[in-house]
Amino acid sequence: MIVYASPIYYFGMTAQITAAMQRVFAIGKPAKATKAALLLSSGSPNVYDGAVATYKGICAYTGIQDAGIITAAGEENGSEAKLNEIREFAKSL
Ligand SMILES: Cc1cc2nc3c(=O)[nH]c(=O)nc-3n(C[C@H](O)[C@H](O)[C@H](O)COP(=O)(O)O)c2cc1C
């Protein structure tokens, strides 16, 4: 499985993870990947549409199943509640 993780920078993912996602085009669909997940952090809530659209587009294009998306805004970042949500998500995979 592939887990993409990025802070939100100006309503999208960072240049670094975007470059990594784009470079995978050169080798085609990752041969062993069947599932993916997306973890996003941000300062404000409700800023994820652009990043989620990119992620879902790549999942659909590559035929990789979206296993879930977790977001953390502001003080949710690093909170015990959010870490527990991520732990439960990981256990469910
Ligand atoms: C260049 C830059 C652009 C950012 N743009 C946004 C944004 O558009 N929306 C938002 O909610 N947070 C934005 N942020 C805040 C980051 O998403 C937030 O700091 C990060 O998710 C928390 O991770 P950190 O603790 O590593 O900084 C931006 C931060 C930086 C440095």
- Domains annotated for the chain, with CATH where assigned, are 2-92 (3.40.50.360)
* Amino acid at site 26: A
pLDDT tens track for 46-72? 999 999 999 999 999 999 999 999 999
Atom of ligand 1 nearest to the CA of 44: 11
**Which atom in ligand 1 lies closest to the alpha carbon of residue 10?**
8
DSSP one-letter code for 12:
B
* pLDDT for residue 30: 84
- The DSSP code for 65 is E
Top mutation candidate among 42, 77, 82 for ligand 1, by most atoms within 8 Å of CB: 42
Question: What angle do helix axes 15-23 and 49-62 make, rounded to 10 degrees?
Answer: 10
Does residue 86's CB lie within 6 angstroms of at least one atom of ligand 1? no
Contacts of 7 (CB under 8 A, 6+ apart): 14, 40, 41, 42
Q: Which two tokens stand for residue 70?
A: 């977790």
Nearest CA to ligand 1 atom 29: 9
Instruction: Categorize the per-residue pLDDT at 28 as very low, low, confident or very high, splitting at 50, 70 and 90.
Output: confident
Contact 74, 41 (CB under 8 A): no
Query: For 44, which DSSP code?
Result: S
